[in-house]
Amino acid sequence: MLILSVGCVTREVVVERPAPVYRPAPPPAVVSVYVDPPIGQPEPIGCPWAPPPMLVEPPPPPPFEGAVWIGGYWAWQGTWVWASGRWVGPPQPGYGWHPPYYENRGGTVVFVSGFWGAAGVVFHPPAPGISITLAAVAPGAVRGPRPMGPEGVFVPPPPGSRVGIIVPAPIGTPPAVVTGAPPVVNVGMRIRENINSNNTVNSNNTTIVNNHVTNVTNVTNVIVEAPASATANGKAVSTTVPAQAHLAAAMHPVVSAPAPRPASSKAIPAFHPGSEPVALPPPQPVRATPAERGIHPAQPSERLNHPTPPAPSAREEGRPEEFHSPRPRTQEPKPLPREEDRPQKPEAKPKKKNPHETWRDQDKRSKEERD
């Protein structure tokens, strides 16, 4: 008996699902103003909720030599308002710009507005344990969540991020460094210094190396990094960005959230402890969408609004014109005549044989024809 056994082979097919496309939540309407920064470090204030994610505001070219880009960050005015960026000159020669300061201290945001400092002035963070005045809240202000993240110095998250998340950063970090970073939906992104100052002294065959790290005022670049669990696209990030505010703000964003232009060109004074909120202009809508490569979302290409100009001639460009000798005119080849149209050669008529020709005469004639 022949027994046939049939085996059953199972195969598991794993279908990978595409990663979900992150759609940033519509940001709330934004009050955009110009803030007149104080001269000298102002007193800190305590803000009850975290600043929103950053907006996109790329600087135009500086209008004059020595201009400083200030603004482009969230400032407190009874609620978080966007202090629009602008190019200005220092109030006095030698004065430098100090970016704003944010610190998560027990769930309260300790905020110090950006300010002008004289040459040699160093920023002093608010000492632990001091009494900090809680800032007044404007009537009708929509409260946000408390800061989500570790205690300490931070900057607001990248454009399109989850509201309330904070990004730990060294003192003196311009908030604009996260402009080109991917949005985050969980805690985990951080900014760290990218500096390693080495002073090497050779003495008696002994090498002494002094390694020290200064604050961001002496740093040209910082590193933005985050694990995959923190970013909206589920990919880890570690990238180096400029530490200068105007260069960082010009980075191409991942999410386009253009900052609205202030309705008034008149700057309002910076908020200070004990002051009452000033009258603010109405908020303006902001739309957050994934940014497209090649065109900065806040600076659309002129080609979209203007036709492409004609290419300049050689005379306009100041280069010698090229001359080409005229090509000789060539006649088009005539088609070959068809076979039936060609003249036919007359066929050779056979010579008539002489009936009286003998075989000797034929042999002689054949020889003559061969020769």
Locus of tokens 């909720």: 49
Residue 103 Cα distances to 126, 182, 194, 248, angstroms: 9, 22, 21, 21
Rounded to whole angstroms, how far apart are CA atoms 180 and 282?
28
Contacts of 216 (CB under 8 A, 6+ apart): 170, 171, 172, 173, 174, 193, 222, 243
Structure-block tokens of residue 45: 């204030």
Which ranges of 82-216 would DSSP assign to H, the alpha helix?
none
Rounded to whole angstroms, how far apart are CA atoms 186 and 234?
11
Rounded to whole angstroms, how far apart are CA atoms 171 and 215?
6
Residue 308 CB: number of other CB atoms within 10 A?
7
Rounded to whole angstroms, how far apart are CA atoms 166 and 294?
29
Rounded to whole angstroms, how far apart are CA atoms 55 and 30?
10
Strands 45-47 and 133-134: parallel
Locus of tokens 């600076």: 299
Measuring CA to CA, which residue among 91, 92, 71 is closest to residue 82? 71
DSSP tag of 145: P
DSSP tag of 181: S
Structure-block tokens of residue 132: 């900090």
Residues recorded for the chain = 371
Residue 96 Cα distances to 66, 67, 89, 232, 283, angstroms: 11, 11, 10, 36, 31
Structure-block tokens of residue 172: 């003196």
Locus of tokens 């020669």: 93
Contacts of 119 (CB under 8 A, 6+ apart): 94, 95, 96
Rounded to whole angstroms, how far apart are CA atoms 213 and 200?
15
Inter-residue contact 28 to 258 (CB < 8 Å): no
Chain centre distance of CA 79:
29
Tell me which amino acid residue 340 is. Answer: E
Mean pLDDT, each 10-residue run in order, the chain (371 residues): 54 61 78 97 98 98 97 97 98 97 98 97 95 93 96 98 98 98 98 64 35 54 98 97 97 96 95 87 92 54 34 36 41 52 54 56 63 56
Produce one character per residue of 168-191: b if its CB has 16 or more CB atoms within 10 Å, e if not. Answer: bbbebbbbbbbbbbbbbbbbbbbb
Contacts of 194 (CB under 8 A, 6+ apart): 219, 220, 221, 222, 223, 240
Which ranges of the chain would DSSP assign to H, the alpha helix?
245-249, 314-317, 359-370
